[in-house]
Structure 1
């Protein structure tokens, strides 16, 4: 029997929490909630929403592989190397030096104690199988159980879809997607043999099946944005189809999600940045932003949040060892785009006396994470931008521009001229530039966009490689290659030799 190393964390983690009934452990290694409500509680574990493709200090190496960040000599040589930074994989990713991570240490993306996607998936699998196995439920528990199963299916699908693209190559619709990427585990029993790796194509198929199965049971509204509602399921389908390139389906599902949520008024799900003001204008770095619309800007349940999953909270902040890339800053209309005013702030950069001394002086850092809660899940602005992209790619240019202008009305100074349609490529490029400005600068979003855009070879938004520079020296990574694939760590591979993946032997 193959060892289920991805779940070895469970016993220790759950023994310490045995006072909670729904976290007890059966003799054979299974969680034993007793009711639908007990299973439902598992979906509220904070580790199912806060630790997604992040390191233990809540940054992400994925941010450093992309084109939204840049790094100075002092940050690299002292901040990372001389100081033996605990997340050295961020620097190695930036210079495309493989292996990026220590192959003989736990992978926080995969599973490290209670963090990673597979610890999350264990909770979701327990909810799904456990509720299906309950007998003699009341009518109220039946309703609660169906909702919890549907929410667990979507949450599991979210993990697997992203893991497939992080641990695997570019997904290429209509081409060979037979590369084996990750095991699609659906049993909560740690004594069940671990399945073989699924291919990239198989993971996408299984994810879609899970979401379609979940849709009828998802509530119209959920009690917290970490729980999927019907719009979340629709958004997930729209997002998946960005990668399958079925853009009619993207438009269909994004439209369902947006129409239901906005209810005819975009202000229901968008903040008007024209109404923002500083709480403390004398210190913009620490100041909160005030809005008369509500007081939830920095909360998970702010009006723009559809599905919450934590994101890189360090990307683009000078003292945290990166800055926004010049190419990203150049995309902003600095005179009229209020995102630039409130999030991109001139402040003291990295400074140290070590290593001969370095002083970056005053630099622009991105403080958006400190001003407004962001998500790797789905925000309502992203839903609107997915619909706009789908309209543009299906040559419905007027509709695409209308969606862009809707968002820009809430982001740009009042009186900024509206956009007008150009050629199809021009409109697609405008949508994708807006997407880059709107979404988090670190984490999954840009990393995966860069991978899917390789299929648009020759278009202005498509890149085949990324080049970073430190102190005049350039480092280049090829997107459609192993440079943009996170390998499975040796810690997991040693327990699963039947996967046939050789151990990483290069020094870290």
Structure 2
């Protein structure tokens, strides 16, 4: 079933959804063959189709995609996990790697545009379900709770990337075309409220055995991360424990199996579009018998691993060519045919680290170490030393997360920023400046909506 939505407006930008090959957007009357909003939400089947379309968009085009336009690669190269090897000197991804992104950078703009396109889609679903009395309450809550969660995840990353951002909960063009930017703390207030609603609406049970749709525990994990970013340590610990103590999940003790799609430690994963396709990550980072042409792991990251670290052995792969050796990210290994891997969005280890940090911030170092040591010992490493101060433990946690979550969702950047340690990048990123803690508001956005001014400092 096809849905044609002709005009999409989010934060002053026009977005096109679901019209392949259309060159430009104009205001026209709805076509006679277009399914109206009321019809989309007249029953559970059509409402689920709208949700499925949103999930496909998140998989293929959002900042959570593991491909070339997702934040995983951009932020891993922006920090100290990946080196970029694009040939063109005007490549937007190469500029991000060199910390030289400007307001006209097309990759920065793409992150912004896709984010607000997807926010529009979530708002459309939420609005459509408000009056959809023909759909059973349980289904309305499930679909609305999922849309609220996706919207919150997008806004959370936008806020951490761009600082003050436009925030909207409506599809109304008259409102959206002239939005102003909302202060970071106010955005986070909205996210807390929305995630709490999502937790109430969603169930722990998954819609399918492969965990392709997020459940309540995913909402709780994201909420715990928001609490962590707001220094609400007690709430972050409590919410994180709701996840890590759940009987739904089992910690994967074998480092070789962490990225298998059958893992019981996986909270949410995304299946490739076509059967037997490799994951976006496996395709992006693949190179063999040649120099890298996109990304390779940085020497700085590789030297952070001890020789006994099993993650170095199983999650990185050396490739030698003409007397030089590079290392590929090798968490995802299967190309075509791929029958073993999906792209993981959230896994249980993130909950362990959230709880560990929240407890350490409260001075409960020994208890926090239990969670960190579980991850270390799976990697073949000894437990962290006893008697660590709070600062020492948090530094250990930060470095452990780097080795555990490299090239996953921009985790390194968000951790360094939250802990106020971005200046640690200066020795390995010669162009790094303090204002790089946020990205520039895309130039085209400022031209379309002057209310988004002023530009972020430094740009």
Quote the RMSD (CA, aligned, Å): 3.5
Give the counterpart of 2:15 among 8, 25, 42. Answer: 8
Q: TM-score of the superposition, structure 2-length normalised?
A: 0.79
1:68 aligns with 2:81: yes
Greater Cα shift, 317-326 or 483-492:
317-326
Task: Provide the residue aligned with 2:425 in structure 1.
Answer: 466
Q: 1:306/1:324 Cα in 2 relative to 1: closer, same or farther (>3 Å)?
A: same
The alignment partner of 2:417 has SS state of helix
Give the counterpart of 1:345 among 301, 317, 334. Answer: 317
8 Å contact from structure 1 (residues 36, 144) kept in 2: yes
Residue deviations 1:106-140 (CA, integer Å, cap 9, x gap) = 822122xxxx2122222211221111111344xxx
8 Å contact from structure 1 (residues 239, 386) kept in 2: yes
1:443 shift after superposition: 4.3
Task: Provide the residue aligned with 2:354 in structure 1.
Answer: 386
Question: How far, CA to CA, are the matches of 1:475 and 1:156 in structure 2?
Answer: 35
Question: How far, CA to CA, are the matches of 1:247 and 1:14 in structure 2?
Answer: 49
The alignment partner of 1:109 has SS state of helix
Q: 1:360/1:133 Cα in 2 relative to 1: closer, same or farther (>3 Å)?
A: farther
Give the counterpart of 1:239 among 219, 222, 225. Answer: 225
Contiguous gaps of at least 5 residues in structure 1: 17-22, 169-180, 277-290, 350-358, 455-461
Q: 1:246/1:437 Cα in 2 relative to 1: closer, same or farther (>3 Å)?
A: same
8 Å contact from structure 2 (residues 78, 96) kept in 1: yes
Residue deviations 1:277-320 (CA, integer Å, cap 9, x gap) = xxxxxxxxxxxxxx5xxxx9453x64332134798664697624
1:254 aligns with 2:236: no
Task: Provide the residue aligned with 1:368 in structure 2.
Answer: 331
Task: Provide the residue aligned with 1:411 in structure 2.
Answer: 379
Task: Provide the residue aligned with 2:92 in structure 1.
Answer: 89
Task: Provide the residue aligned with 1:173 in structure 2.
Answer: none
1:328 aligns with 2:301: yes
Question: How far, CA to CA, are the matches of 1:486 and 1:407 in structure 2?
Answer: 32
Q: 1:439/1:11 Cα in 2 relative to 1: closer, same or farther (>3 Å)?
A: closer
Residue deviations 1:257-277 (CA, integer Å, cap 9, x gap) = 1111456xxxx242413xx4x
8 Å contact from structure 2 (residues 95, 101) kept in 1: yes
Q: 1:56/1:427 Cα in 2 relative to 1: closer, same or farther (>3 Å)?
A: closer
Give the counterpart of 2:58 among 37, 48, 67. Answer: 48
Greater Cα shift, 43-52 or 3-12:
3-12
Contiguous gaps of at least 5 residues in structure 2: 1-7, 24-32, 271-278, 335-340
1:117 aligns with 2:115: yes
1:252 shift after superposition: 0.8
Give the counterpart of 1:222 among 182, 201, 206. Answer: 206
8 Å contact from structure 2 (residues 103, 441) kept in 1: no
8 Å contact from structure 2 (residues 439, 456) kept in 1: no
Give the counterpart of 1:145 among 133, 140, 144. Answer: 140
The alignment partner of 2:109 has SS state of coil
Question: How far, CA to CA, are the matches of 1:239 and 1:365 in structure 2?
Answer: 29
Give the counterpart of 2:155 among 154, 160, 173. Answer: 160
Q: 1:32/1:503 Cα in 2 relative to 1: closer, same or farther (>3 Å)?
A: farther
Question: How far, CA to CA, are the matches of 1:444 and 1:101 in structure 2?
Answer: 22
Q: 1:503/1:340 Cα in 2 relative to 1: closer, same or farther (>3 Å)?
A: closer
Task: Provide the residue aligned with 2:185 in structure 1.
Answer: 201
1:446 aligns with 2:412: yes
Question: How far, CA to CA, are the matches of 2:379 and 2:66 in structure 1?
Answer: 31
8 Å contact from structure 2 (residues 166, 452) kept in 1: no
1:501 shift after superposition: 3.9
Q: 1:466/1:37 Cα in 2 relative to 1: closer, same or farther (>3 Å)?
A: same
Question: How far, CA to CA, are the matches of 1:409 and 1:231 in structure 2?
Answer: 25
Q: 1:160/1:25 Cα in 2 relative to 1: closer, same or farther (>3 Å)?
A: farther
Task: Provide the residue aligned with 2:252 in structure 1.
Answer: 270
Question: How far, CA to CA, are the matches of 1:125 and 1:14 in structure 2?
Answer: 25
Task: Provide the residue aligned with 1:476 in structure 2.
Answer: 431
Greater Cα shift, 429-438 or 49-58:
49-58
Q: TM-score of the superposition, structure 1-length normalised?
A: 0.72
8 Å contact from structure 1 (residues 95, 468) kept in 2: no
Give the counterpart of 2:365 among 397, 418, 421. Answer: 397
Residue deviations 1:460-507 (CA, integer Å, cap 9, x gap) = xx34252376xxxx72312x41x2322222322222123334699x9x
1:203 shift after superposition: 0.8
8 Å contact from structure 2 (residues 224, 240) kept in 1: yes
1:155 shift after superposition: 1.1
Question: How far, CA to CA, are the matches of 1:92 and 1:40 in structure 2?
Answer: 40
Alignment: residue pair count:
415
Q: 1:35/1:429 Cα in 2 relative to 1: closer, same or farther (>3 Å)?
A: same
Question: How far, CA to CA, are the matches of 2:125 and 2:200 in structure 1?
Answer: 17
